[in-house]
């Protein structure tokens, strides 16, 4: 005889769970359906932390001696324990470390400032601990950006087009209640980012880097180039003694790769001498990509990404793509790597693009990335500053690092204002062939143009940019003015912000003209006839802040110097 008494409780629990599930479905409708399909998952931190109508407030609580020890050993990027108060919510035993590569080296070697960027890892010491679902938070110091808003504007463009990209907000950062400065807070591209964008999907994440200074799992990507015998972050292997590069030149040590004593840069090695004329791309004579993104001879180092970071297919040998695997964020194996190489092979051949590329997201990424002219990336000479996401053999590009957008990568004499404003939209990625099949297909090219036109006509000229600019100025003007660690004076910030506004408006005018056909849209066409280009004579990109590796990465504000 069945005892209903014994089964009544389990049945009641099942019914309660079913009711809760139905209520969840009703509350989140589309998000819930997408989550079940592995597409997206609603996260509490999205609204609680990244509602850009309110500046985030973060107070780091730790012993002063521990803080000073972390800054003194900033290049080690070791974690220190602290408590954190975020918008009134306190989290204990959080991991805190400095972050960055070029910017970290520049700050570390500058005796006048200790304004580092930081990474908060909520689950570093307490397994499973999050801030409303967020596992890691990035705090960027706005290095080489006098406007303090380049990255915010770019990420807002990504949000406008609904691209898979990090959430952003400004943060008023304090240490034990004392104001440190205004930082840009970004959602780290790690576990919670993947859950928010891809839900139950089980894809793999990489941070490729041809400079061997980024990548790495367990929250350790973005590492310093290790010295001989040291393990490289995320690579799980030692750097050989006196290892030679592809062209017989020994790989430079540490900051030497970036120009010696940054920010002076006098020790910058002449990579142009050791690189092949095609920048390591393996291109045929006459290929337009042999020029820089400006269509002019390269004036800076060429990091062609010969080990896969440029996403060019070379062969089926997995070790040929070590720059991708060394930058794994999730744990990956040979089967995962094989799927990536298979995808790269088909993408390079223009075969079944819809199967091997998240075409819609990639086209939107291309549009924003092209609009903002970020040369510290695949659109310049550097094969880095992006994430590669693979799921079921399909690849996606995730954006990262935009403080040097709109002309901030000022290496060489050719990066003038006219070339920034009129950057050719149909020659956007000279450092890789990864996007070529999309650009050569009329249907995909048309959709790419539609997204570019949406940015120019709707976002900028239609008033959205004006709203964002005024909102940001209203939020951070007083924070920048009172910022005790600012890398630029308030006057420099104000001039830079106004110059950025002018630059974005002219960029929109040029993009719109290129799409309509009244302005040449390729590097070759612009070289042949520059008479129709938008006049950028009133733009001075240096006012917005630049990383000039030949003459100082940034200017130190008088206010900051006086604090010493």
pLDDT for position 422: 97
Q: What angle do CA 551, 557, 563 make, to 5 degrees?
A: 125
Helices (H), 76-230: 102-108, 150-160, 191-198
- Tokens representing residue 226 in the block: 């290790």
Answer yes or no: are the C-beta atoms of 364 and 397 closer than 8 Å: no
Pair 179, 210 in one domain? no
Task: Burial-class residue 348 by CB neighbours within 10 Å (0-12, 13-18, 19+).
Answer: middle
Of the chain, the end-to-end C-alpha distance in Å amounts to 86
Helices (H), 37-87: 44-48, 64-72
- Domain-located, residue 248: no
Answer yes or no: are the C-beta atoms of 60 and 96 closer than 8 Å: yes
- Domain-located, residue 309: yes
pLDDT for position 21: 41
Q: How far apart are CA 413 and CA 300, in angstroms?
A: 9
Helices (H), 292-358: 322-325, 334-349, 353-356
pLDDT for position 201: 75
Pair 360, 326 in one domain? yes
pLDDT for position 547: 81
> Which residue's entry shows tokens 């003694």?
241
- For 220-230, letters b (16+ CB in 10 Å) and e give bbbbbbbeeee
- Domain-located, residue 11: no
- For 11-21, letters b (16+ CB in 10 Å) and e give eeeeeeeeeee
- Whether the upstream peptide bond of residue 90 has omega within 30° of 0, thus cis, is no
Answer yes or no: are the C-beta atoms of 188 and 288 closer than 8 Å: no
Pair 368, 510 in one domain? yes
- Domain-located, residue 14: no
Answer yes or no: are the C-beta atoms of 381 and 412 closer than 8 Å: no
Which pTM value belongs to this model?
A: 0.80
Phi/psi-derived region of residue 97, left when phi > 0, alpha when psi is between -120 and 50, beta in every other case: beta
pLDDT for position 93: 98
The sheet carrying 204-206 orders its strands as: 204-206, 386-391, 394-399
DSSP labels, 474-541: HHHHHHHHT-TT-SS-HHHHHHHHHHHHHHHHHHHHHHHHHHHTSS--SHHHHHH--TTSPP-TT--G
Q: How far apart are CA 495 and CA 147, in angstroms?
A: 8
What residues pair up with 184 in beta bridges, in sequence order?
140, 170
The closest of 138, 142, 154 to 379, measured between CA atoms, is 154
Considering only CA atoms, give the Rg of the chain: 24
- Domain-located, residue 249: no
| Cα torsion through 338, 342, 348, 354, rounded to 10 | -130
Q: How far apart are CA 284 and CA 290, in angstroms?
A: 9
SS3 427: coil
Handedness of CA 473, 498, 107, 302 (dihedral sign): positive
Domain total in the chain: 2
pLDDT for position 411: 55
pLDDT for position 380: 86
- Domain-located, residue 451: yes
Q: How far apart are CA 346 and CA 362, in angstroms?
A: 16
User: What are the backbone dihedrals phi and psi of residue 343, each rounded to the nearest 5 degrees, phi first?
Assistant: -65, -45
Pair 216, 125 in one domain? no
Pair 215, 324 in one domain? yes
Answer yes or no: are the C-beta atoms of 210 and 305 closer than 8 Å: yes
Pair 168, 208 in one domain? no
- Tokens representing residue 428 in the block: 């956007």
Answer yes or no: are the C-beta atoms of 75 and 105 closer than 8 Å: yes
H or E stretch at 139: strand 136-140
Pair 177, 274 in one domain? no
Pair 189, 208 in one domain? no
Pair 121, 209 in one domain? no
Task: Burial-class residue 478 by CB neighbours within 10 Å (0-12, 13-18, 19+).
Answer: exposed
Percent helix / strand / coil, the chain, rounded to 5: 40, 15, 45
Helices (H), 80-201: 102-108, 150-160, 191-198
The closest of 501, 481, 508, 492 to 546, measured between CA atoms, is 492
Phi/psi-derived region of residue 236, left when phi > 0, alpha when psi is between -120 and 50, beta in every other case: left
- Domain-located, residue 417: yes
H or E stretch at 111: none
- Domain-located, residue 103: yes
The parent domain of residue 64 ranges over 35-198
Pair 276, 159 in one domain? no
Pair 312, 451 in one domain? yes
> Which residue's entry shows tokens 């990066």?
415
Pair 94, 72 in one domain? yes
Residue 261's alpha-carbon distances to 266, 302, 436, in angstroms, are 7, 20, 38
One digit per residue, the tens of pLDDT, for the chain of length 564 reads: 434 344 344 444 544 444 344 334 333 433 433 433 456 789 999 999 999 999 999 999 999 999 999 999 999 999 999 999 999 999 999 999 999 988 999 999 999 999 999 999 999 999 999 999 999 999 999 999 999 999 999 999 999 999 999 999 999 999 999 999 999 999 999 999 999 999 977 899 999 998 754 333 433 333 333 333 333 333 333 333 333 333 332 323 333 333 333 333 333 333 333 333 343 344 433 444 333 333 333 333 345 567 999 999 999 999 999 999 999 999 999 999 999 999 999 999 999 999 999 999 999 999 999 999 999 999 988 899 999 999 999 999 999 999 999 999 865 445 589 999 999 999 999 989 999 999 999 999 999 999 999 999 999 999 999 999 999 999 999 999 999 999 999 999 999 999 999 999 999 999 999 999 999 999 999 999 999 999 999 999 999 998 854 333 443 332 233 223
- Tokens representing residue 341 in the block: 């190489």
């Amino acid at each position: 005889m069945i005892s209903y008494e014994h089964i009544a409780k389990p049945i009641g629990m099942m019914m309660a769970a079913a009711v809760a599930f139905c209520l969840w479905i009703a509350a989140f409708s589309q998000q819930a359906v997408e989550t079940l399909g592995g597409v997206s998952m609603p996260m509490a931190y999205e609204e609680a932390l990244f509602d850009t109508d309110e500046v985030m407030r973060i107070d780091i609580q730790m012993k002063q001696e521990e803080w000073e020890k972390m800054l003194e050993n900033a290049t080690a990027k070791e974690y220190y324990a602290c408590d954190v108060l975020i918008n009134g919510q306190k989290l204990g035993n959080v991991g805190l470390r400095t972050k960055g590569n070029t910017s970290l080296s520049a700050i570390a070697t500058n005796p006048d400032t200790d304004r580092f960027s930081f990474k908060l890892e909520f689950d570093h010491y307490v397994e499973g601990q999050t801030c409303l679902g967020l596992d890691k938070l990035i705090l960027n110091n706005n290095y080489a950006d006098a406007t303090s808003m380049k990255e915010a504007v770019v990420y807002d463009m990504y949000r406008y087009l609904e691209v898979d990209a990090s959430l952003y907000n400004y943060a008023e950062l304090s240490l034990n209640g004392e104001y440190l400065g205004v930082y840009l807070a970004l959602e780290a591209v790690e576990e919670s980012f993947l859950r928010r964008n891809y839900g139950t999907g089980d894809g793999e994440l990489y941070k490729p880097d041809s400079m061997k200074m980024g990548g790495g799992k367990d929250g350790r990507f973005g590492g310093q180039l290790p010295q001989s015998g040291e393990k490289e972050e995320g690579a799980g292997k030692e750097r050989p003694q006196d290892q030679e590069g592809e062209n017989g030149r020994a790989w430079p040590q540490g900051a030497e790769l970036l120009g010696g004593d940054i920010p002076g840069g006098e020790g910058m090695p002449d990579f142009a001498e050791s690189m092949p004329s095609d920048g390591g791309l393996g291109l045929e004579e006459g290929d337009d990509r042999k020029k820089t993104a400006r269509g002019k001879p390269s004036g800076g180092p060429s990091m062609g990404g010969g080990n896969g970071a440029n996403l060019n297919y070379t062969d089926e040998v997995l070790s040929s793509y070590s720059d991708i695997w060394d930058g794994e964020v999730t744990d990956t194996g040979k089967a995962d790597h094989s799927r990536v190489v298979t995808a790269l092979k088909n993408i390079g051949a223009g075969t079944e693009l819809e199967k091997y590329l998240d075409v819609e997201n990639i086209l939107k990424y291309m549009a924003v990335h092209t609009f903002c002219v970020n040369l510290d990336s695949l659109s310049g000479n550097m094969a880095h500053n992006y994430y590669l996401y693979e799921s079921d053999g399909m690849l996606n590009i995730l954006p990262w690092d935009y403080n040097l957008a709109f002309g901030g990568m000022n290496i060489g004499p050719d990066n003038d204002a006219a070339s920034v404003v009129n950057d050719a939209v149909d020659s956007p990625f000279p450092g890789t062939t990864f996007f070529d099949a999309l650009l050569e297909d009329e249907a995909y090219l048309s959709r790419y143009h539609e997204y570019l036109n949406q940015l120019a006509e709707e976002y900028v000229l239609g008033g959205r940019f004006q709203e964002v600019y005024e909102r940001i100025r209203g939020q951070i003007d007083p924070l920048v003015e009172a910022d005790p660690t600012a890398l630029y004076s308030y006057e420099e910030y104000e001039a830079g912000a106004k110059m950025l506004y002018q630059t974005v408006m002219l960029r929109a005018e040029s993009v719109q003209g290129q799409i309509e056909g009244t302005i040449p849209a390729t590097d070759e066409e612009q070289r042949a006839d520059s008479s129709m280009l938008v006049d950028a004579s009133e733009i001075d990109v240096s006012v917005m802040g630049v990383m000039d590796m030949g003459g100082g990465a940034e200017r130190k504000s008088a206010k900051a110097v006086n604090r010493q």
